[in-house]
Every structure is written in structure tokens, then in C-alpha cells.
């Protein structure tokens, strides 16, 4: 699920190169993320049931904080940040793709399925904070119990995601805090061929998606259409922001989520035991997707809404920073936006 238009070893490993502008912070970077303040809007609900609680009605204004991620994206389009983005070299769509993405988000807000999932995510954040006693897993404290490989074959590009807040997939949505969006790019940094108006124009379309580790399939959903539109447009008819997806339990508190799979491609069933590297589906364009891509994250619960995202490291990865960066092999890597990544060592 893209946090922005699709147009995340030691932490010192595999970082994208810095620049003179890379440490500059925008105004938005300096403001604490207020998205979760939208939960205070729930206090207003009794006022709509009984006049006895009319004094709670002003709390309804707190729901506006739920629009903060939308507002930050809008500011980013209207007033480009001076800070250099590690994904600037990736060409996803034309110059209007981000605008189309934002415009399609407006009518999408009346989609009841999307609205319900948004509320469930916000309420799920409360469960996460309570369950972790406000001490959330982070890259320094979390120790994974499973060795994860990249859930793809061949070279892909990290278009969204990082362990740091600035380039996080969705920092305020705790389940997706350490999520990644993956695409494929060509030698010029484009994610598509032709004019990019059809899902099949995109390099990652229908490419294999594999299990990142052995485990048990605990959820598998297929039958969600792939959006017929690309170039930044979101599917206004989506029923689930994940589209077609698979959830795999690898350990008691480690579940991987692989989303936006191609309709009809899900190759595993709930309850099935699968091996690491086994094909579970094909990359698609279903759900909350601006262009074909794979969404991947690991969380500590089966529930998509009440799980906390986990900052996992990947084993046996070939990493290159940017479009022309030299590829290096690492036994355990943290991924970052703007990197080109491949499972296994490349033999040239």
C-alpha cells in the first residue's frame, strides 16, 4: 500500500549515499506526526447519540488529524522539499502522477471499505501501544527469530520504505512502519515501458513473489480486481487496501504480509505449510495501488490492524544504491528507499 504515489546487519550497512542536502530537514520533518490524535475524535461519538453528551461534540474536530498524511503529500507536491530524496532517480509515471494520486484520494474517502479499514488501523494503533506498553520495537531493540530472504526473484528497487522515519513507508500506521514497496526499474530508472498506461507496461507486472521464510499460510485472499488504471490513479472501487494478499506465520510473533498480488495468481491456501522461496503469487495492481508493485512487511500479530511492524533484516542480499551505484553483497542487510536489491550474490 503506497504511502505516496509509486511514481524500507548493522544500521551502518547499505545506507544510500548522502549529499550536501541530505541532512536538511523540511518544516514538516520538524513537526511531530499528529495522525494518532484523530483517535480523540472517537470521544465525540456519544454526542451524536444523546444530547446529554453534547459537551463532547467539539472532539469531532480531532478526526481532521487523520488527514495529516494526505496534507503532507499535498505540501510535497505544491512545495517540493529542498531535501534530496533517495528515490529521485526513479521515474514512475509522468510529472502529473503525484497530482492524480492526490486527486483520486479525495473521492476514495467515500468508499466505505476504505473508510472502515482506516478506522480499524487507527484503533489498532491503540492496541499496539497498549500491548507494548508504549515501548515499541525499533531497529536497536528488536531481535528477529527468523532468517528472511527477499520475497522476490531478480533485481528489484525499493521505492518506499526504510527503518528511519524520514523515508518510512507509513510511520504513523504502526503495522506498516517498517514496510517496503518494491518495483522493477530499467537502466534509465523507469518503472515501465511504453506510455505506462496499462498495468502490463510495468516491469514488475506478473513477476514471481516468493515466501521470505518457511511457515504456515494463515490468510490468503484472491479475487480482488487489478485496477485497470495506472499513472497515479487509485482504484475507487477497491474493497480492500491490500488487494489480493497472503499472510504467513513464521514464528509465534513474526508474520509476513505480501500484498497487491495479481488477481487469480495466489498459489497457496490457508493452513498450508510452505518453504522459503516457494512461489506464493505474482506481482499485481490490486487494492490501494497507484501502479503495479509489491507491498511487504513483517508484523508481530496475525491481525493487519492490531499488529506492530517489525524492523527485520534480510539475509544474503546484493545491494546497489541509486541508479549507478556499485553492487555489493552483504550477509544481512537493512533495506532503504532508493536501493536496487537482489537475493543472493550475483556471479558475473
Is residue 53 scored above 60 in pLDDT?
A: yes
Is residue 340 scored above 60 in pLDDT?
A: yes
| Measured distance CA(241)–CA(286) in Å, rounded | 8
pLDDT tens sequence across 131-152: 999 899 999 999 999 999 999 9
CA distance to 36, 156, 176, 185, 251, per residue, from 7 (Å): 27, 15, 19, 12, 35
Is residue 11 scored above 60 in pLDDT?
A: no
* pLDDT (0 to 100) of residue 6: 54
Task: Residue count of the chain, please give it.
Answer: 348
* pLDDT (0 to 100) of residue 16: 39
* pLDDT (0 to 100) of residue 101: 87
How much is the mean pLDDT over the chain?
87
* pTM score, whole prediction: 0.84
- Split at pLDDT 50, 70, 90, the class of 224 is very high
- Split at pLDDT 50, 70, 90, the class of 83 is low
CB atoms within 10 A of CB 138: 12
* pLDDT (0 to 100) of residue 22: 40
CA distance to 19, 145, 208, 291, per residue, from 258 (Å): 33, 19, 12, 16
Is residue 130 scored above 50 in pLDDT?
A: yes
Instruction: Quote the DSSP letter at residue 64.
Output: G
Closest C-alpha among 123, 172, 175 to residue 304: 175
- Split at pLDDT 50, 70, 90, the class of 264 is very high
Please, are residues 337 and 8 in contact by the beta-carbon 8 Å criterion? yes
3-state secondary structure of 3: coil
* pLDDT (0 to 100) of residue 84: 76
| Measured distance CA(207)–CA(283) in Å, rounded | 5
Domain covering 114-343 in this structure, CATH number: 2.70.70.10
* pLDDT (0 to 100) of residue 18: 36
Please, are residues 91 and 189 in contact by the beta-carbon 8 Å criterion? yes
More confident residue, 20 or 164: 164
Q: Which residues pair with 152 in a beta bridge?
A: 209
Tell me the percentage of the chain whose pLDDT exceeds 70.
Answer: 85
Is residue 265 scored above 60 in pLDDT?
A: yes
Widest CA span in the chain:
74
| Measured distance CA(44)–CA(52) in Å, rounded | 12
Is residue 23 scored above 80 in pLDDT?
A: no
Amino acid at each position: 500500500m503506497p504511502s505516496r504515489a509509486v511514481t524500507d546487519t548493522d544500521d551502518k550497512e547499505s545506507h544510500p549515499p548522502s549529499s550536501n542536502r541530505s541532512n536538511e530537514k523540511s518544516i514538516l520533518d520538524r513537526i511531530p506526526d499528529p495522525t494518532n490524535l484523530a483517535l480523540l475524535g472517537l470521544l465525540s461519538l456519544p454526542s451524536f447519540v444523546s444530547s446529554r453528551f453534547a459537551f463532547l461534540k467539539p472532539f469531532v474536530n480531532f478526526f481532521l488529524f487523520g488527514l495529516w498524511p494526505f496534507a503532507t503529500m499535498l505540501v510535497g507536491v505544491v512545495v517540493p522539499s529542498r531535501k534530496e530524496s533517495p528515490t529521485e532517480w526513479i521515474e514512475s509515471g509522468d510529472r502529473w502522477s503525484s497530482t492524480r494520486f492526490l486527486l483520486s484520494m479525495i473521492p476514495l474517502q467515500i468508499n466505505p471499505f476504505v473508510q472502515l479499514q482506516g478506522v480499524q488501523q487507527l484503533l489498532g494503533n491503540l492496541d499496539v501501544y497498549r500491548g507494548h506498553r508504549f515501548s515499541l520495537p525499533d531497529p536497536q531493540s528488536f531481535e528477529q527469530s527468523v532468517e528472511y530472504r527477499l520475497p522476490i526473484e531478480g533485481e528489484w528497487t525499493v521505492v518506499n520504505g526504510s527503518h528511519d522515519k524520514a523515508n518510512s513507508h507509513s510511520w504513523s500506521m504502526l503495522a506498516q512502519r517498517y514496510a517496503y514497496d518494491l518495483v522493477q526499474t530499467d537502466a534509465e530508472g523507469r518503472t515501465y515501458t511504453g506510455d505506462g498506461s496499462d498495468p502490463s507496461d510495468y516491469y514488475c507486472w506478473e513477476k514471481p513473489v516468493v515466501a521470505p521464510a518457511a511457515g504456515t499460510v494463515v490468510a490468503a485472499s484472491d479475487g480482488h480486481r487489478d485496477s485497470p488504471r495506472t499513472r497515479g490513479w487509485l482504484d475507487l472501487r477497491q474493497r480492500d487496501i491490500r488487494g489480493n494478499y497472503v499472510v504467513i506465520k513464521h514464528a509465534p510473533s513474526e508474520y509476513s504480509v505480501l500484498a497487491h498480488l495479481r488477481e487469480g495468481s495466489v498459489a497457496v491456501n490457508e493452513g498450508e505449510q510452505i518453504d522459503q522461496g516457494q512461489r506464493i503469487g505474482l506481482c499485481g495492481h490490486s487494492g490501494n495501488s497507484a501502479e503495479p508493485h509489491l507491498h511487504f512487511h513483517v508484523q508481530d500479530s496475525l491481525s493487519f490492524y492490531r499488529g506492530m511492524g517489525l524492523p527485520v533484516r534480510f539475509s544474503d542480499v546484493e545491494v546497489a544504491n541509486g541508479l549507478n551505484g556499485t553492487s555489493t553483497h552483504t550477509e544481512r542487510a537493512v533495506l532503504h528507499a532508493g536501493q536496487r536489491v537482489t537475493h543472493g550474490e550475483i556471479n558475473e
